[in-house]
Structure 1
Amino acid sequence: MELRDIEIFLTLAEELHFGRTAERLHITPSRVSHAIKKQERHIGAPLFERTSRTVRLTPVGQQLRDDLLPAHVQIQRAVGQAMARARGFSGALRVGYSTPWCADLVFEAAEVFRGRYAGCTVQVREVQFDDPCGLLRRGELDLQVSEVPSVEPGIAAGPVLICEPRALMIPAGHPLARRDSVSLEDLAGVPMIGPGGNVAKTLLDIHVPTRTPMGRPIPRGPSYTFWPEVPCLVAAGLGVSIVAARAARYHNRPGIAFVPFRDGPTMDYGVLWRTAGPAPAMPVAFVDILRGLTLRRRACEAGHDAGPTGSSPTTATTPAPAPCDAAASSTAPCSV
């Protein structure tokens, strides 16, 4: 078996879906099917049981996976070490995040990166919304995963990783808290809590708009320096805040409610990095890992149909990651 065929087999053994395997390996589903059939002819027994909706390993396939996996991991590590030496990868890659769900993704990618490129570490640091690109501008970060878009000079945007529906964080006793959904026009009747500091207008227009789509003014509430102040201000009845829908799973507390918006754009999170300096080889490698993890999360969330032809699901939703650990909520750098 060729190394590429082994990789296809092990990926399919993990995903149990021809379409997701093809997407993850950047090949066609027919290439996956052809490789598996060739391996089965060579071995003389089926490796997978295929139905119109499921793919399962046969006992022969399970044993082959168990025997191949440790050696394949070692090969990947050796290749990664050689790539790191050839590309000059060494030292620490400094990565920022702005929300706990971005932190979950960054910490998972950091673990993969460390295993792939021996001798490299990843320092992870929280980014505050009142100065969202300050650490990048000052050269204290190599890249960050945070709210986009950003049009600041010297800051380049990479891929969008998370597209999240929005919700209104509102005092639990407010009349809007009893609704099933709210509209952007409802913001005309509630004070909006906003960040202090230097935030780009493009971000403010999305997260802290001053007018509704029909042009009605939105009253201003108090400002904050660190985002953890926001739920406290909302619970005190001093205003509301536009948040990602999944914030309800990370920031819920007594005195506040989360009501989904039925209109308006999604809240998007992507990669940002500095354009100054040499070609960022380490950040590019890290972004490749982030994209791979994001594709896998979306595919797993989209459904589990796995027909033998490898057809991919037609819809996908944003995944719900597990709450991040304490390290992800600290403003101090954390080496992974």
Structure 2
Amino acid sequence: MELRDIEIFLTLAEELHFGRTAERLHVSTARVSQSIAKWERRVGVPLFERTSRRVTLTPIGRRLQEDIGPGHRQILAGIEHAVTAGREARGLLRVGFFSATGGQLVVGVADALRSRYPDCEVQIRELQFRDGISPLLLVGELDILLSVLPVSDPGLTASPVLFREGCLLAVCARHRFAGRDSITLADVAEETVLRAGPQVADYWVEWLAPRLPAGARPTQRGPVFATVQEMLALIGAGKGVFVFPAQATDYYQRPDVAFVPICDAPGFEWVFLWRRSNATARVRSFVETARDILKTRAIP
């Protein structure tokens, strides 16, 4: 039974008049009659008593009205909620980020979004490297995530690039690269690159490998870390190196770690990611607000 037939039955049960039902639903009287006939064939008994003067519900018709009426109202309410979520920037938006740089940007966008849309609540969550993008793929965990390209998951949509920044290699302060003005990707290929946990175990190795000069040795895989502080501790102890965005020098200075620019690396491209099935007005408004802010303000 189609939703329209349910709507016709419930409206006729309320109006008890074929003409008024047709007018209220913007259909023909014949369409109302056909739908009720379809109902009665399905049920096997009359649902309405018709005379030349009046229309009344039969006992079974009354019971059917009582049984399906609440469910119909719940369906309509659910549809309305979905339409509101899809078209209006209101309700809860859960935003994720990885780094201190990302956190500052996300907080700034969240404040601006609340000013534009007071009915939109923003919850901010810092992810660890061990999480990867998995929380974004789980319904109810995150709605949108600030991350870097490339991302190959076909279930995700990426915003236009928000901003770009250069690449640094984080090395132990005693490393032979420490103090250099710059190094090359071929230099990085000689190093042991740390791994960012099972979710993104070889992300940077995979990012690096296609960019290496012909004949360069594959990058060695180093110990696994789960958080930025674990990674920095391993680097400071000389256990490996890792690639950072240029702003790392503003947030992660340590006496045992040095940052060296990679002169021929293509750089980081920052984007917002969200599930294709979750392209709500809240998500779109958050991205638009971020782009507006970045047009007039330096990157935090």
The TM-score normalised by the length of structure 1 is 0.59
Matched, 1:155 2:136: no
Aligned runs of 1:182-331 on 2, under 5 Å? 182-199=183-200, 204-206=205-207, 209=209, 212-214=212-214, 215-277=216-278, 279-297=279-297, 319=299, 321=300
Aligned partner of 1:91 in structure 2 is 91
Q: How far 1:85 sits from its partner (Å)? A: 10
> Quick one: structure 1 residues 164 and 128, their matched pair in 2 at CA, closer, same or farther if it must change by over 3 Å?
same
Superposed displacement of residue 212, structure 1: 3.4
Residues 194-203 or 88-97, more deviating: 194-203
1:128 match: 128
TM-fit CA distance, 1:131: 3.5
- Are the aligned partners of 1:92 and 1:122 in contact in 2 as well (CA < 8 Å)? yes
Identity %: 37
| Residue pairs, 1:95-174, within 5 angstroms | 95-139=95-139, 140-174=141-175
C-alpha change, 1:85 and 1:116, in structure 2 (3 Å) is farther
Equivalences, count: 215
Corresponding residue SS for 1:95:
strand
Residues 170 and 259, structure 2, Cα contact 8 Å, conserved in 1: yes
- Matches of 1:202 and 1:255, distance apart in 2: 25
Structure 1 contact 143–283 (Cα < 8 Å) conserved: yes
Greater C-alpha radius of gyration: 2
Letter paired with 1:295: K
Question: Which amino acid counterpart does residue 153 of structure 1 have in structure 2?
Answer: P
CA contact (8 A) 2:158 2:271 kept: yes
User: Given that residues 181 and 261 in structure 1 are in contact (C-alpha distance below 8 angstroms), is that contact kept between their aligned partners in structure 2?
Assistant: yes
Unaligned runs of 5+ in 2: 1-83
| 3-state DSSP of counterpart to 1:103 | helix
In 2: Cα distance, 1:269 partner to 1:190 partner: 25
Give me the whole-angstrom Cα distance separating, in 2, the residues matched to 1:232 and 1:126.
20
AA aligned to 2:294 is T
SS of 2:265's equivalent in the other structure is coil
Report how far residue 209 of structure 1 moved. Answer: 4.0
After superposition, the Cα gap between the structure-2 partners of 1:133 and 1:101, relative to the gap in structure 1 and judged at 3 Å, is same
Contact 2:195 2:201 in 1 (8 A): no
CA distance, structure 2, for counterparts of residue 282 and residue 188 of structure 1: 42
- Taking only aligned residues, the RMSD between alpha carbons, in angstroms, comes to 2.3
Residue aligning to 2:74? none
Q: Distance in 1 between matches of 2:197 and 2:284?
A: 32
CA shift digits 1:131-183 (9 cap, x unpaired): 32211110211111111221113111112112110011001111111311111
Long gaps (5+) in structure 1:
1-83, 299-318, 322-336
Contact kept? 1:109, 1:290, Cα under 8 Å = yes
Task: Note if contact 1:91-1:119 (Cα within 8 Å) is conserved in structure 2.
Answer: yes
1:36-58 Cα distance to aligned partner (Å, 9 max, x none): xxxxxxxxxxxxxxxxxxxxxxx
Change (3 A) 1:113 1:217: same
Whole-Å Cα distance in 2 between the matches of residues 158 and 86 of structure 1? 17
Matched residue SS, 2:213: coil
RCO higher in structure (CA 8 A, sep ≥6):
1
C-alpha spacing 1:109/1:211, structure 2 compared with 1 (3 Å): closer
Cα shift at 1:213: 2.4
**Which amino acid counterpart does residue 286 of structure 1 have in structure 2?**
F
